[in-house]
Amino acid sequence: MRNQNQRVLIISGIITTVVVFVIGLLIGRFGICKNEDSKSTYAKPDYLVDEADPTIADLLMNGIDADRIRENLRYLTSRPHLAGTDGNNVLARHLKTAWEEAGLDHVTLTPYDVLLSYPNMSDLNYVALLDDNDTIQYKSDLREPALTNENQTEVVPPFNAYSAPGDIKGTLVYVNYGRVEDYEHLSSKNINISGKIAFARYGKIYRGDKVHLAEMRGAIGVILFSDPEDVTSGDIKQVYPKDWWLPSTGTQRGSLLIGDGDPETADYPSIATAFRENTTDFYLPSIPCHPIGYGIARHLMSNLAGEEVHDSWRGGMNVTYKYGDAFTNNGWKAHIHVSTQNQRAVIYNTIGVIRGAVEPDRYVLLGNHRDAWVFGAQDPSSGTAVMWELATVMGNLVKTEKWRPRRSILFCSWGAEEYGLTGSAEWVEHYSKSLGPRAVAYLNVDIAVEGNFSLEAEGTPMVYTSLVQASKKVANPGSEEIKAGHPTVYDTWMATFPDEKFGRPEISLPGAGSDYSTFRDRLGIPVMDVRFTWNRRYKVSSYPMYHSAYETFYLVDKIMDRGFKYHAAIGKLWAEIARDMADSLILPFNITDYAVVMEDLGKTFVQRFQSDMANHGLDTALLIHAIANFSTAVQDFQVRVKTVDKSNPFAIRRINDQLMNLNRAFLDPAGLPGRRLKRHILFAESNVDSYSGSSFPGLADALTEIRQGHDVDEQWKRVKKHYSVILYAIQAAASTLKSVDDFMYDHL
């Protein structure tokens, strides 16, 4: 039984607790100043070394609302929003207001005046087939006919941005996908495209590389088309608006620029004081190029003469595929009319900030572009709709003081990705000195839902663990998949893209498909890009409606993601990874994964090129040895992480700094051989296909050229120099992981 004294003690204890609590609340409520080092809502003295609050993960994920994402998407797609146009700039301002209301601490619009490209609206582009009297026999539609009831007024007709203007006539040669190996095949048939028009199907490689490769071989123009094999199920009646497959009139727009950012201000931001010039860092075509659908492409193909193509070149049109180099009717010609002009325009990025509570000068970035070719319901607005929801949910937790992340979180809505990653590249160039050294990671979602089946991802190896763990926490949005025994996003992902070698789902090295490129190449920070994709039983190159006017709200709402469950699932995944990186006391970068991937890259490289290298006196054992040294440094570092004094904020900061700087050590300020703006020596897109990532890209490109017999002596010099740079960089990276008094190598 309790006596009176105990009671008094308990009551006064309760009173004291309540008083302290109220005072704490008052400090929390009124004591927050705008100083960036303020303690904010953290009242505990040891808040500097608090572990992340595990309950926040569910709070964030459960806050994500599919209906709100649907409303966001409806708004974003209500009007075309091409880069540099009013439609896109209105959205930039709308997001700023919405994010401010949502509770973000600060939202900025960052404008850049950049070189874009538009067709002349009173002189539209087309492709035609002319008879021997130059009379038009077949002509492409000037616009894609509307199939649902969107307002068509501001829909830009099909065009390829940065195409040279021109009006040309000539012989047509079918070049399959227009890859290097396709030209090798043509030359085995003694077909030369010099002075002729290349007729290439979309797919496999970046369209800008198709035009570049054709131009280098002397082509005078390029016609790009979508082949039914790549964009339909085989049944050309089962297409939009009935299904997600591309109809015969559907046409893929897209840029031809090779290089990241405004081509007139390479490496510098396009701000008011910028000096503008064209440099060899970028490729802009000097020949005209125009895209068409398979309805008209079929007429071009059916009139081609010449030998029937090799099996692998045959596509899905119900005509005989021929190499061409002549038409069946003597004197007929292909005709390309392009009025497209380069034009400077102002673009806006919208950047929203949630200030971190403990380490506000460490930034976790979330990004997605806003500009679309037309309505952009998949690319990129599915991603923007989700990012907007994340800002709403996180902003609300901050506003209601339920949460403030340890580190700052930035939401980035880019203004002109489609033209050449321009919004993000200009911003990275602009803030590389202030943001660059303090950025933790860049997490991109370009298209949230390009299909409704499995997750697909690419990224820097040190983010793999965080990504995989987050995917295990998100319920599978596919009810069929749940029935099939795959309860989480991870399960379907692992079943669809297993990477047997590493016992995890396959994650590609980052290519150059989206805005993360400049973060990887210039800032050297870890990057990631995720999306839901289609079932791989369909062998298509991209999702069928890609960059057409049929990427509408109707398509997403009625066909792709009824109920917006896949959108919500990507939102949960994205939010959880961001929370993990923003809140974890020690950054959740698993650098053992980095070492494991490097060992694999090293082995693959040696298998491919050992004898070529040895014949020129280059010892590939050195590479293996350097990587082994790196792995040892990683292991030692992991031991120090396990034993670090977690009550010492400086010790924690030191470990985190090392984690942050590891990936930066692989930047070479001189750039890859011949590509000075590509500065990450391990990861860059391939030189002949800007979409796909390649490893030791500087070496692999040069050695491939050598094997093809191009410029052999010069290329060997490059290989020797670059090999030494790689060996040095790996050693430099290992040294960033060493303890403070032992980062140097002894020379005995």
Ligand X SMILES: *[C@@H]1O[C@H](CO)[C@@H](O)[C@H](O)[C@H]1NC(C)=O
Q: Look up residue 228 and give its amino acid.
A: P
Among 147, 586, 622, 651, binds ligand X (CB under 6 A): 622
Q: If binding is defined by CB under 6 A, does position 131 make contact with ligand X?
A: yes
Segment holding 106, helix H or strand E: strand 106-118
What part of residues 238-257 is at the interface with ligand X (CB under 6 A)?
Answer: 244, 248
Binders of ligand X among residues 715 to 734 (CB under 6 A) are 727, 731
Q: How far is the CB of 111 from ligand X (least distance, A)?
A: 19
Between 194 and 615, name the residue whose CB sits nearer to ligand X: 194
- 264 in contact with ligand X (CB under 6 A): yes
Could you give the string, one character per residue 280-299, with x where binding to ligand X holds by CB under 6 A and - elsewhere? ----x-------------x-
Binder to ligand X among 3, 46, 277, 740 (CB under 6 A)?
277
Alpha helices in 36-179 (DSSP H): 55-63, 66-76, 86-102
Q: Contact between 328 and ligand X (CB under 6 A)? A: no
Tokens of 206: 């970046």
Integer distance in angstroms from the first to the last C-alpha of the chain? 77
Query: From the CB of 451, what's the least distance to ligand X, in Å?
Result: 6
CB-based contacts of 509: which residues, under 8 Å, 6+ apart? 458, 683, 693, 694, 695
Contacts of 257 (CB under 8 A, 6+ apart): 161, 162, 208, 263, 282, 283, 284, 419, 420
* From 379-387, 434-442, 481-489, 621-629, span contacting ligand X (CB under 6 A): 621-629
Nearer to ligand X (CB atom), residue 496 or residue 590:
590
Within 381-400, which residues bind ligand X (CB under 6 A)? none
Residue keyed to tokens 């070049």: 175
Q: Which secondary structure element, helix H or strand E, spans residue 368, and what is its range?
A: strand 359-369
| Binding test (CB under 6 A) with ligand X, winner from 40, 444, 452, 736 | 452
Quote the least distance from Cβ 240 to ligand X, whole Å: 11
Residue count at the site for ligand X (CB under 6 A)? Answer: 43
| Nearest CB to ligand X, comparing residues 305 and 622 | 622
Q: Say whether residue 209 binds ligand X (CB under 6 A).
A: no
Q: For the chain, how big is the Rg over CA atoms in Å?
A: 28
CB of 706 to ligand X, least distance (A): 19
Q: What is the largest CA-CA distance in the chain?
A: 114
For residue 77, CA distances in Å to 171, 420, 502 come to 40, 21, 40
Contact status, residue 478 vs residue 452, Cβ threshold 8 Å: yes
Residue window 458-497: x/- pattern of binding to ligand X, with contact defined by CB under 6 A: -------x--------------------------------
Q: Which is nearer to ligand X, 266 or 394 (CB)?
A: 266
| Residue selected from 629, 661, 692, 735 as contacting ligand X according to rule CB under 6 A | 629
Place of tokens 């997600």: 244
Question: Tokens 């608006």 sit at which residue?
Answer: 241
> Which residue stretch of 126-134, 435-443, 574-582, 706-714 sits at the interface with ligand X (rule: CB under 6 A)?
126-134
Beta strand pairing call for 160-161 and 254-255: parallel
CB 552 within 8 A of CB 150: yes
Binding ligand X (rule: CB under 6 A), the pick from 625, 640, 653, 676 is 625
Residue 511: strand, helix, or coil: coil
Among 123, 235, 619, 645, binds ligand X (CB under 6 A): 123
DSSP 163: P
Q: Omega before 380 cis (within 30°)?
A: yes
> Are the CB atoms for 443 and 410 separated by under 8 Å?
no
Q: What is the DSSP letter of 197?
A: E
Closest approach of Cβ 36 to ligand X, in Å? 31
CA 551 to chain CA mean position, Å: 19
Cis omega before residue 241 (within 30°)?
yes
**306-314, 558-566, 692-700, 709-717 -> range binding ligand X (CB under 6 A):** 558-566
Concatenated DSSP letters for 458-499? EE-GGGHHHHHHHHHHSBPS-HHHHHTT--BHHHHHHHHSEE
In the shown chain, the binding pattern of residues 343 to 382 toward ligand X, with x for contact by CB under 6 A and - for none, equals ----------------------------------------
Q: Which stretch binds ligand X (CB under 6 A): 66-74, 127-135, 612-620, 640-648?
A: 127-135
CA 59, 64, 67, 71 dihedral sign is positive
Q: Does 192 bind ligand X (CB under 6 A)?
A: yes
Q: In the complex, what is the shortest distance from the CB of residue 524 to ligand X, in angstroms, rounded to a whole number?
A: 20
Asked whether position 556 contacts ligand X by CB under 6 A, the answer is no
Measured on CA atoms in the order 598, 599, 604, 608, is the torsion positive or negative?
Answer: positive
The contact mask relative to ligand X for 671-700 (x = CB under 6 A, - = no) is ------------------------------
Cβ contact 634:461 at 8 Å: no
How far is 465 from 575, CA to CA, in rounded Å? 15
* DSSP character string of 277-306: ---TTSB--SS-EEEE-HHHHHHHHHTB-S
596 is a contact residue toward ligand X (CB under 6 A): yes
Binding segment toward ligand X, per CB under 6 A, in 102-110, 487-495, 559-567, 679-687 = 559-567
Pairing of strands 407-414, 359-369: parallel
Choose between 44 and 237: whose C-beta lies nearer to ligand X.
Answer: 237
Question: Which residue in the set 310, 536, 562, 616 belongs to the binding site for ligand X (CB under 6 A)?
Answer: 562
* 154 interacts with ligand X by CB under 6 A: yes
Instruction: Tell me which residues touch ligand X (CB under 6 A).
Output: 120, 122-123, 131-133, 151, 153-154, 187, 192, 194, 218, 236, 244, 248, 264, 276-278, 284, 298, 318, 341-342, 452, 465, 534, 559-562, 590, 592-593, 596, 622, 625-626, 629, 727, 731, 745
